[in-house]
Amino acid sequence: MAITSANQLELLQTAEAVAREKMIDPDLVIQAMEESLARAAKSRYGAEMDIRVAIDRKTGRATFTRVRTVVEDDAVENYQAELTVDQAKQYLADPQVGDEIVDEVPPVDMGRIAAQSAKQVILQKVREAERDRQFEEFKDRKGTIINGIVKREEYGNIIVDIGRGEGILRRNEKIGRESYRPNDRIRAYIKDVRREARGPQIFLSRTDPQFMAELFKMEVPEIYDGIIEIKAVARDPGSRAKIAVISYDGSIDPVGACVGMRGSRVQAVVNELQGEKIDIIPWNEDQATFLVNALQPAEISKVVIDEEAGKIEVVVPDMQQSLAIGRRGQNVRLASQLTGLDIDIMTEADESARRQAEFAERTQLFMDTLDVDEMIAQLLVAEGFTSLEEVAYVEMDELLAIDGFDEGTAEELQARARDCIEEMNRKALEHAKELGVEDSLVAFEGLTPQMVEALAEDGVLTLEDFATCADWELAGGWTTVNGERVKDEGVLEKFDVSLEEAQHLVMTARILLGWVDPADLEAEAEDAPGEGEAEEEAEA
């Protein structure tokens, strides 16, 4: 094929047609043609030559040029595309390094092989442009619902035609045992859009909790308008789901709005989700109230929240335990996902037995350490005393407030408690020193002898060792592993040392050792935003 005036306009017409069919910029197609013609010319004139082709965007005329670049004398590597400054003087009056010498060369006749190669280049460029266009179009639609038509099934995965591209609905993203045939209409949630070597991959889902949230947004105008907000969603796809909603208009009931007249709105969502049962729950800022709502239809007697551990204990009547847990633990699992807390379900009988066990354990502690009879020990526990330290150092008035306790009894109890604590501290210190603990750690303010003993048993023997500890290693904490919260036991956790206290102790040790300059800490504290500023930044 020769580039002659007869087919110059045909080049532009072909570029326009391809661009219109693939919905891409015609200039990209022409650039691909220029590159393919340049490749064909190189096969004719020599691969080492820098041959370039420019197609006039109005006339379609293709101009073939040979370009040579001026380089340093010792930098010439390709004699066909580079030349020295001296060699360039015969072409340019004052050549400089970097100048280019452009000579027009005759157009080439494209043989069958060259034409085929040019076609492949054009197709490749068009395909790349089409992929870029597809990615740009769908990347902003991530997190929305799209309608498509099933094209085919591959190893359990559904390939969906979504207009200007294809999406994949993986087998684990289908609800239950859904099956589709070619040309079936399907609605799915765009979970992710990735740019990969083989082109943009659009991943669809029908099991994602946000799929249900988007369906409610389509069915409930108040959600779309922002009057009602979906605060949390939890799903067991194909079986049951819970959705928490809140209304910002006092005159609108969020649950009623989502249910609709005679359940029409929620039924439309249920039908799309293959009959999945949906519990619509009013959201509440108070965690305990929200949890009681989330565990419906079970009745809750009491809720105990451990914020530091991120756990919550729920006490239910004996007859309500199976209802609260649900079939195969479904109800409590969905409530846990909805609230973001680990939930322990206990019956009233279980809680009563645990309280009795704790009462008996503390009673025995006071009987053994204070050498008192069971009645006095039970009176101490009943008044809320849990440890020897509380008895030893509490105000005398609190002990005198216990029925039957006079001043002599109270003083004797405190004296026995202090003697017992001193003896325990003496033994702890002796054991710590046997383990090799240094005086620098023993003398460190803030650590009791029993704390020093616990640290020594864990291999922390010097102040330097203590200064390298992390706060969570001392106070304990929680780590999320594979989606589950796992407890990290702290060396000093049994002494009720908080994370803030542990951090203060470690930082004090570092200052004493000269590792940290107190002035730097003060400067950081001044630069840190105040509480109000921090809240404003968080909101922003």
Q: Do residues 28 and 125 lie in contact, with contact meaning Cβ atoms separated by under 8 Å? A: yes
**CB of 33 within 8 A of CB of 3?**
no
Backbone angles phi, psi at 155, to 5 degrees: 55, 40
pLDDT for 476: 82
Dist. CA 277–CA 450, nearest whole Å: 55
**Alpha carbons 176 and 272: distance in angstroms, whole number:** 13
Nearest Cα neighbor of 497 from 455, 530, 439 is 455
pLDDT mean for each 10 residues of the chain (540 residues): 48 69 70 76 76 77 80 75 77 78 73 57 69 73 86 86 82 82 88 74 87 90 90 88 90 90 89 87 86 83 71 81 83 84 81 85 86 85 82 82 81 86 88 89 88 90 90 79 71 84 89 82 59 44
Amino acid 115: pLDDT: 53
Please give the Cα distance from 387 to 374 (Å, whole number): 16
Residue 51: strand, helix, or coil: strand
- Integer Cα distance of 399 and 378 in angstroms: 13
Give the C-alpha distances (Å, rounded to integers) separating 503 from 209, 384, 457, 479: 38, 29, 21, 18
Q: What are φ and ψ of residue 514, in 5° steps?
A: 80, 15
Q: Are 370 and 417 in contact (CB under 8 A)?
A: yes
**Residue 22: phi, psi to the nearest 5?**
-90, -5
Indicate the SS3 state at residue 238: coil
Q: What are phi and psi of 290, to 5 degrees?
A: -65, -40
| Cα–Cα dist 88/309, whole Å | 78
Q: How far apart are CA 430 and CA 300, in angstroms?
A: 50
* pLDDT for res 245: 92
Instruction: Decide if 307 contacts 315 (C-beta within 8 A).
Output: no
Q: Which two tokens stand for residue 26?
A: 């015609």
Q: Quick one: CA torsion of 77, 79, 85, 87, rounded to 10 degrees? A: 160
Pairing of strands 342-347, 311-316: parallel
Give residue 523's pLDDT. 64
Query: Can you list the alpha helix ranges (DSSP code H) found in 326-406?
Result: 330-339, 348-370, 374-382, 388-393, 396-400
Q: What is the dihedral of CA 215, 216, 220, 225, to 10 degrees?
A: -90
Q: State both tokens at 45.
A: 């004139």
Kindly list the distances between the CA atom of residue 199 and the CA atoms of 23, 134, 155, 195, 516, in Å, as whole numbers in the listed order. Answer: 16, 9, 20, 6, 52
Does the reported pTM lie above 0.95? no
Crossing angle (nearest 10°) for helices 8-22 and 112-139: 30
**Cis before 282? omega within 30:** no
3-state secondary structure of 151: strand
Comparing CA positions, the residue from 86, 54, 84 lying closest to residue 69 is: 84
Q: What is the distance between the alpha carbons of residues 16 and 10, in angstroms, rounded to a whole number? A: 10
The number of beta carbons lying within 10 Å of the beta carbon of residue 180 is 17
